[in-house]
Amino acid sequence: MMTRLNASQAGAIGLFLVMALVVPLFPSDYIFDAILTPFLAISLAALGLNLLAGYAGQVSLGSAAYMAVGAFTAYNFLLRIPGLPLLAALFLAGLVTAAFGVLFGLPSLRLKGFYLAISTLAAQFFVQWALTNFAWFSGGDTSGVITTPPLFIGPIAIDTSVKRYLLSLFIVALLTLIAARLVAGRTGRELIAIRDNELAARVLGVKILRTKLFACAVSSFYIGVAGALWAFLYLQTVEPAGFDLDRSFEILFVIIIGGLASIRGAFLGAAFIVVLPLLLSRAGAAVFGATFDSGLVDIVEKIILGVLIIGFLRAEPAGLSALIARIPFGRFFAFATTKTTGNFS
Amino acid sequence: MDWGFFAGVAIAGLLAGVMYSLVAIGFVLIYKTSGVLNFAQGAMVLFAALTFVSLNEEGLPFWIAFAVTLAAMVVLGILIEALVLRPLVNQPPITLFMATLGLSYVIEGAAQLFWGTQVHSLDLGIADVPLPLNSILISQFDLFCAGVAGVIVAALTVLFRYTRTGLAFRAAAEDQYAALNTGLRLPRIWATVWAVAGFVSLVAGLLWGARTGVQFSLSLVVLKSLPVLVLGGFDSIAGAIVGGLVIGLTETLAEVYIGPFVGGGIDQWIAYVIALVFLLVRPTGLFGQRSVERV
């Protein structure tokens, strides 16, 4: 497994180093709190979904439910096991979400396409209901919104915007590199083989059952950790309301816009999704003055997103990722992509 | 056990199921002829209801507002065919499904952009007086909805069985290449079907709107209809009705008899669990024809 890194993986590491060493010098908390930290969490969730939807061809509409499972698992572990290290809690959150993902992934052994997509809605609605209805998950707190406890890595308190950003970055970078190694290797090829022609994959000796469930598990692990990052490091509250169906759609849109079956696609799409509403509200304020209706921004954002989804599916199924690869500088950013488009068979 | 109460709950559930069926029929129409699972059906319901109620509030009489809205739905159908479906022809079903997801965002946004986001009340002039029937109360309005659903199903059955247009619909559903070969214009057929689905959305939107108020949540009826489709089969109008009745019945009974033990609200997901179990056991649904894309 420990072969030499290829050029694109090295490029990714370089980019992460810049984000770790140079970006924190930026003198504004806003850019960390409102842009970079949510961007990292959304990227990780989209990366997880892309492993399943882009590579294995199984579209899920339940990502937000998995994020919620991750967030609430991390919360409960921290609450119920005093002294449990934060990183261990995050890891356990990923593991529990992975188990959950395998359970709800069982239908994928018999179903494909939108039948599977519909069955993932069951997870979405069930999880949101369970988390809202049983106070046990919230540690007996019935207010619906739980403030996260103070976070520590060893003796260091994670109490500033930059520290929260750096912790997110560390986790996301680590998981991204693992994912890049995973999809560049045998597993990635097996997933694509199943996506493109399951029968042929089976003939070639790919173990369908094991590979599919493995994809579910890894994907859910990533989405669960992303949910924990989202709740603990971005919102700093844990609540079921933020993990609704719209969030699931958002994660799916990230990978359609960014590029299916592409690791950097998850990042490009996430950047787009996070920045778009900010740009729109700035533009709205510039055009209509400060008094304009912010509800309008939401509506316009919806329309733009919808048009982009249709546009990308029509014209460029490989998303922003493929667009960037075509510009002259593209090779520089072209880290960790496989040369497959995100077509579904 | 109080059987009178049970019967009352059951009838209320069945009638609620009819409302789901109304939306599900729109799905079936489109799926039957073009193989697209149209997630934007709920957005179309919202769009239709919002357009109608806004025109009505502007002072247009009922039937003129109805006709104008219907015309708008036909135009919408033609636009969707030209801008979304035709360019994506021959793509896998899941790609088309995701495109209709995007479409639902566009239609919802457009409806709210044109007509605003406030809640409108809609009065169809049907008194909602509960009719007593042996100590069971039955909502008159629900009975009216059931009647409308019956008329729509009958009309669609006649359309599909006994008209040339219906024959063309069925040919397109059966085999697209063969239909093309006999000179049928698939794009025109698709546009027609989307227009008919627009009409069904308008009717569903009016009935749902009269019940819940015309507001954004109307587009969420799509989520109530998906389990109905799974249960009844994606390509069967009869299935949409039976599926709706089954889902409405179980949902209401479960909420009344099981709900109190787990804190209520299980109607949010029970339909999906039923659908999920059904998918695993009988993926074509109760009345489905086409084989499901299975592993």
CB B98 to CB A112 under 8 A? no
Q: What is the mean pLDDT of chain B?
A: 86
Output the CA angle A198-A202-A204, nearest 5 degrees: 115
Chain B residues within 8 A of A113 when measuring between CB atoms: 92-94, 97, 293
pLDDT of residue A290: 66
pLDDT of residue A338: 43
Q: Which CATH architecture describes the domain A9-17+29-333?
A: Orthogonal Bundle (1.10)
Burial A5-44 (b: 16+ CB within 10 A, else e): eeebbebbbebbeebeeeebeeeeeeebbebbbbbbbbbb
For residue B281 the two structure tokens come to 């056991």
Chain B residues within 8 A of A305 when measuring between CB atoms: 102, 105
**Least CA distance to A58: which residue of chain B?**
B94
A106: left (phi over 0), alpha (psi -120 to 50) or beta: alpha
CB A110 to CB B117 under 8 A? no
Name the residue facing B295 among A110, A114, A343 (closest C-beta): A110
Q: Per-residue confidence of chain A (345 residues) as pLDDT tens digits?
A: 445 566 677 777 888 887 877 777 777 888 888 889 999 999 999 999 999 998 888 889 999 999 999 999 999 999 898 888 999 999 999 999 999 999 888 887 777 777 788 888 888 999 999 998 888 888 777 676 788 888 888 888 888 888 999 999 999 999 999 999 899 888 889 998 988 888 899 898 888 888 999 999 999 999 999 999 999 999 998 888 889 999 999 999 999 999 988 898 999 999 999 999 888 888 888 877 766 677 788 899 999 999 999 999 998 888 888 888 777 654 554 444 444 444 443
Domain ranges of chain A: 9-17+29-333
- Is the CB of B225 inside 8 Å of chain A's CB atoms? no
Alpha carbon A125 to its chain's center = 19
CB B92 to CB A345 under 8 A? yes
What's the rounded Cα separation, in Å, for the pair B257 and B272? 18
Interface test with B, best of A50, A115, A134, A256 (most B CBs within 10 A): A115
Sign of CA dihedral B34, B39, B43, B46: positive
Chain B residues within 8 A of A133 when measuring between CB atoms: 262-265
Q: How far B66 CA lies from chain A's nearest CA (Å)? A: 26
Instruction: Return the higher-pLDDT residue of A70 and B238.
Output: A70
Axis-axis angle for helices A161-184, A208-229 (nearest 10): 170
Q: How far A265 CA lies from chain B's nearest CA (Å)? A: 17
What's the rounded Cα separation, in Å, for the pair A267 and A36? 11
Q: Is B137 helix (H, G, I), strand (E, B) or coil?
A: strand
**Amino acid making up residue A278:** L
CB A125 to CB B272 under 8 A? yes
DSSP A149: P
Residue whose token pair is 């659903």? B149
pLDDT of residue B289: 63
Name the residue facing B276 among A119, A249, A308 (closest C-beta): A119
Name the residue facing A112 among B106, B265, B293 (closest C-beta): B293
**CA–CA distances in Å: residue A334 to residues A255, A329, B262:** 16, 9, 51
**Amino acid making up residue A271:** A
What's the rounded Cα separation, in Å, for the pair B107 and B201? 13
Q: How far B85 CA lies from chain A's nearest CA (Å)? A: 9
Q: Find out if CATH 1.10.3470 is the number for domain B3-281.
A: yes
**CA–CA distances in Å: residue A245 to residues A62, A102, B97, B170:** 7, 20, 16, 35
- Interface contacts A/B by beta carbons within 8 Å: 139
pLDDT of residue A339: 43
Asked if residue A54 lies in contact with residue A255, where contact means CB atoms within 8 angstroms, the answer is: yes
User: Hey, which residues 245-284 in chain B have their CB within 8 Å of chain A?
Assistant: 262-266, 268-269, 272-273, 275-276, 279-280, 283
Burial B198-208 (b: 16+ CB within 10 A, else e): bbbbbbbbbbb
Pairing of strands B130-133, A156-157: unpaired
B117-174 pLDDT tens trace = 888 888 877 776 777 766 677 778 888 888 998 899 899 889 888 999 888 888 888 7
Name the residue facing A122 among B87, B93, B273 (closest C-beta): B273
pLDDT of residue A344: 47
Give the burial class of B34: count Cβ atoms within 10 A of its Cβ; 0-12 exposed, 13-18 middle, 19 or more buried.
buried
Alpha carbon A208 to its chain's center = 24
Axis-axis angle for helices B270-281, A113-133 (nearest 10): 150
What's the rounded Cα separation, in Å, for the pair B40 and A205? 40
pLDDT of residue A340: 44
Interface test with B, best of A50, A59, A111, A114 (most B CBs within 10 A): A114
The pTM (predicted TM-score) of the whole model is: 0.89
Give the containing element (helix H, strand E) for A98: helix A86-105
Sign of CA dihedral A110, A116, A118, A121: positive
For residue B50 the two structure tokens come to 């919002």
